[in-house]
Amino acid sequence: MDLLTGILVSLVVAATPLVFAAIGELVVEKSGVLNLGVEGMMIIGAIAGFAATIETGSYVPGLLAAMLAGALMALLFGVITLSLLANQVASGLALTLFGLGLSALIGQPYSGKSAGAFPHLYIPGLSDLPLIGPLVFGQDGMVYLSLAVVAGVAWFLHRTRAGLVLRAIGENHDAAHAIGYPVVLYRYAALAFGGACAGLGGAYLSLVQAPLWVERMTAGRGWIALALVVFAAWRPWRTVAGAYLFGGVTILQLHGQGLGLKIEAQYLSMLPYLATILVLVLISRSRTVAPASLGKPFHATT
C-alpha cells in the first residue's frame, strides 16, 4: 500500500467512530433532547464490546453488547432527564463522569489484552485495485455499517411518518403532546438509539482501531461528535462529511512526522480540538437551525 492509500484508509478508520456517535446524537437532538454524555456512552460501549468479544471470542456478541451497554447508559440518562426532569446539561456531564469511572472499573482485568485484527471486506479482483480497492472494497465491515446507519437515519427522519413525528416533537413538544403524540416515549426511543450508536462508535475504537482496551481511550471523541452535530446543522449526511474532515485532521498527527513536518507531536495532537473550536466559531455565525425544543424539560400536565 502506498502512502496516499495508507493515509486515506487511516482517515476512514479515524472518522468512523465519530460517524457512529454523531449520527446517534443527531437523532437524539432532533427529538429535542441534548445528551452531553456521548463520551460516557462511547467509553462504556468500548469496554462492553471489548470484554464481550474477549469472553466469547466472537465480534457479533461484542458489538451487540456495546450497543446494549450504550443504550442502557442512555436510558439511565432518560430516566433522570425525561422522567425525573433533571437538568440535561448537568445530567449529561454526570453520564460522562460515571461512564469513564465505570468503564475503568470493568476494564481493569482487560487492559493489555488484544482483540486481534477485525475482518475486512475482500472481493477478489475489486479489492486488489490500486487506491479504490482498499478504499472502497477493502474496509472493515463497521465502516459500511456506519454509512448504512446514516442512510437509514436520513431515510427515517425525512421519509417516514415516525421520523416526522420525532422532528415535530423536537420542534415543539407541547404542540406534539397536544396532538396526542407520546413525547416521552419517542424521546426514550431516540435516546436508546443514540446510546447504541455511541456504544458502537466506542466499540470501533477498542475492537477495530486500537484494537485493545485502554482507560479513557475515547479521549474527547464523544465531545467532538457533539460538535459535529452542530457542524452538520442537524443533517445526517453532513455529519459524515464533518467526521471525515475530522478524520483527516486526526491522521495529520499520525502521518505528520512521516510527511516531514518538523513539529512536536503534542502540537499536532491539539489539532482535532483546535479544529473543533474553529468549526464551532464558523458555524455559529450562520443562522441557527437547532430543534426549537432542544434541551428544554417536558412535563405533561394532562
Partner 1 sequence: MLRLLPRREPSRAMLYLTPFLAVALTMLAGLALFALLGKDPFEAIRIIFLEPLMTLNGLSELTVKAAPLILIATGLAIGFRAGIWNIGAEGQYIMGALAGGCVALAVYPAGGPWLLPLMCLAGAAGGIAWAAIPAMLRTRFATNEILVSLMLVYVAIQFLSAMVHGPLRDPDGLNFPESRLFQGGATVPVLAAGKRAHVGFFFALAAVAAGWVLLGRHIVGFQIKVLGQAPQAARFAGYSERRLVWITFIISGALAGLAGLFEAAGPVGQLVPALPAGYGFTAIIVAFLGRLNPIGILLAGLLMALTYIGGEAAQIAMSLPSATTSVFQGMLLFFLLASDVLVNYRLQFGRASAGSAGKKR
The residues binding partner 1 (CB under 8 A) are: 36, 76, 79-80, 84-87, 89-91, 93-94, 97-105, 108, 215, 219-220, 223-224, 226-227, 230, 264, 266-267, 269-270, 273-274, 276-277, 280-281, 284-285, 299, 301-302
For 275, the grid coordinates are 479544529
Inter-CA distances, 252 with 8, 135, 242, Å? 11, 18, 16
Nearer to partner 1, 70 or 134 (CB): 70
Nearer to partner 1, 99 or 201 (CB): 99
Nearer to partner 1, 158 or 299 (CB): 299
Inter-CA distances, 31 with 100, 162, 189, Å? 26, 11, 9
Closest contact distance (angstroms) between CB of 86 and partner 1 is: 4
Inter-CA distances, 199 with 22, 24, 67, 77, 127, Å? 11, 10, 5, 14, 29
Closest contact distance (angstroms) between CB of 59 and partner 1 is: 26
Closest contact distance (angstroms) between CB of 90 and partner 1 is: 6
Closest contact distance (angstroms) between CB of 270 and partner 1 is: 5
Cα angle 29-32-35, degrees, rounded to a multiple of 5: 50
Closest contact distance (angstroms) between CB of 57 and partner 1 is: 25
Nearer to partner 1, 6 or 215 (CB): 215
DSSP state of 114: B
DSSP-based three-state secondary structure for 140: strand
CA 46/CA 50 separation, integer angstroms = 6
Nearer to partner 1, 109 or 258 (CB): 109
